[in-house]
Amino acid sequence: MSPEDLYHHLARLSLAHGVSGREAPVAALFAEAAAPLCNEVRTDALGNVVAVKYGEQPDSDDRVRFMIAAHTDEIGMLVSAVHPDGFLHVSPVGGVDRSLLFAKEVWVHTKHGPIPGLITSRPPHLTKPSEREKLPDWDELFVDVGLPKDKLEQTVRIGDMVTMRGRCERLAGTRVAGKAIDDRASVVAMIAMLTHLQRLRHDVDVYAVATVQEEVGLRGAMTATFGVAPHVGIAVDVGHAHQPGVPKYKTAEQGAGPVVARGANIHPEVYAAICAAAEAYGIKYQTEVVAANTGTDAWAMQVTRSGVPTGLLSLPLAYMHSQVETVDLNDIGETGRLLAAFAAEADIERIRGWQRVLI
């Protein structure tokens, strides 16, 4: 896929709104993009979208299934109360950083449609020095939509979704900044993978799954993996890119390709197969060590049913969980190409061997 095609998909997905549990608008965009590239697209009861492209393996009752997971949900807020002064109390959904919320613009998604609002902040003229150094609690943060209390109560319901307003901007070169790039960029990588697979022969059946509720506990990956029952799985998410104030050994380089994880969450054979596919197709990649829980859908995939040999690819992302999350389009494209290469190179008997009885 060209950088323009990648940006087109990323902008559509980034600008859609869907906190954990409310991902339907994002899921619909993935389903629309995947449908022409697959044999079947379906959803499950939790809201995961499962796009299936069958391989050329002989028909059997136990076809080898390769599952890829990338999550659609974003962090955000829900309306928790209406303040007597006409402001909204909100509660966080996922890992929202309160220090990044002051004076930020938001959308409040009501039954009448989204209405603009802003998160209030007190000017320095009206605060004491000690107050400026303190991070306010959630019950001290309010959303102002410009309505008096009576009209506000007619418009906004408790539990309405609140998301950050933002743009999806192309920066210089191949970088893009916007909201919810975590993990919509990985969803684009799955679309890129399906596009590449139109020209590649593969034996395994490919299940590209846009998962839900990752930010609140990997829930979509749990149910989707149980439903697909894959023989091998790869989660695709974002990791930390080089950025000011962070040691380079804790981050990855943008534009240098996807990051392949190693650690307890990662099956050694899957790691080796990912690297072999990258080298066979001339795809640059980086390696990171995650000693225990990766905190991604890979963690849920690995321990579903009787266990799934699992891998993890990460896109280097700067300024995570902000409105200006920044990614490199080349990394998205190369991640999609690597996933397609893995599917094309996957040996059915070798994969079956990862789950065979040894004695």
Catalytic residue among 56, 74, 105, 214: 214
Rounded CA separation 3/333 (Å) = 8
Query: Is residue 214 flagged as an active site residue?
Result: yes
Angstrom distances, CA of residue 147 to CA of 86, 123, 153, 157: 7, 21, 9, 14
Angstrom distances, CA of residue 125 to CA of 72, 85, 128: 41, 21, 8
Total Cβ atoms within 10 A of residue 80? 16
For 136-139, the CB contacts below 8 A with 24+ separation are 136/98, 138/89, 138/90, 138/91, 138/92, 138/98, 139/89
Total Cβ atoms within 10 A of residue 32? 12
Catalytic residue set: 214
